[in-house]
Amino acid sequence: MARLNDKKDRPNARFHGRVENTGQRCAEPGCEESGEFRAPPLEGAGPHDGPRAFRWMCLDHVRAFNSRYNFFEGMSVDEIHAAQRPTAGWERETRAFSGRDPGPRWSDFSDPLDAIAARYRRERAPERPDGKPLSGQDRESLKTLGLEPTADRTQLRRRYSELVRRYHPDRNGGDRSQEGKLQKVIDAYQQLKGAPVFA
């Protein structure tokens, strides 16, 4: 029982930052303690073609380092203000995709929600007269219902009613062999009814 309590009382390395058995000595000059805590490198130290290596410090010296560390040290008031803006770092211009862009190499991968690759699909439905874009799911649902990409809300409702009458068992002498098709028609109609293109 005492053994469990001892284990419970020991701090968990995962949360306090200690890395045991690093084989490093504390980076503070003259300190012979084991370096078990990481600290940022000295400015200008190390190679400039990649991230610089951390310094390893003992507990006392990393505490001293943390107590005097100031991220804004050496910055002017304007630089501090700029670094504290919520949008700091987001000003870089990003590459815009255009209709003439052939698309990246990954444009043909499976993207069922059309979150990325809609613009680069090999088979695109013609543009609608109202200018509303069709998602890949919209196209599949229209194909299920046998409608053109230019269909409007009235045509959608009319076609849905027609197909329900055709496939519903109550409308064709109790024949239940078409129930699979009926379910696909219902699913397609429900998806399109809530799609932005038919809003």
Rounded-to-integer distance, Cα 183 and Cα 168, Å:
10
Task: For CATH 1.10.287.110, list the domain ranges present in the chain.
Answer: 128-198
* Among 32-46, 52-66, 91-105, 120-134, the range of highest mean pLDDT: 52-66
pLDDT at residue 156 in the model:
92
What pLDDT does 123 receive? 46
Cα gap 137→186, rounded to integer Å: 14
Number of H helices, E strands in the chain: 7, 2
Tell the residue number behind the tokens 């630089």, with chain if given: 79
Average pLDDT over residues 88-108: 60
Residues 52-83 pLDDT 10s: 678 889 999 989 988 888 878 888 888 888 88
The residue behind tokens 């890949």 is 136
Beta strands 37-39 and 55-57: pairing type? antiparallel
pLDDT score of 179 more than 80: yes
- pLDDT number for residue 103: 55
**In terms of Cα–Cα distance, which of 169, 152, 165, 163 is closest to 188?**
163
pLDDT beyond 70 at 40? yes
* CA-closest candidate to residue 72, choices 60, 64, 80, 62: 80
Tens digits of residue pLDDT in 2-32: 444 555 555 555 556 788 887 888 989 999 9
- pTM comes to 0.38
Please give the Cα distance from 148 to 23 (Å, whole number). Answer: 70
Max mean pLDDT range (15-19, 113-117, 124-128): 15-19
Among the residue ranges 44-48, 116-120, 132-136, 159-163, the one predicted with the least confidence is 44-48
pLDDT: is 177 or 46 the higher one? 177
Burial class (CB in 10 A: 0-12, 13-18, 19+), 173: exposed
CATH architecture of 128-198: Orthogonal Bundle (1.10)
Tokens linked to 146: 């046998």
The amino acid present at 54, given as its one-letter code, is F
Residues of the chain with pLDDT > 90: what percent? 17
Mean pLDDT of the region 31-37: 90
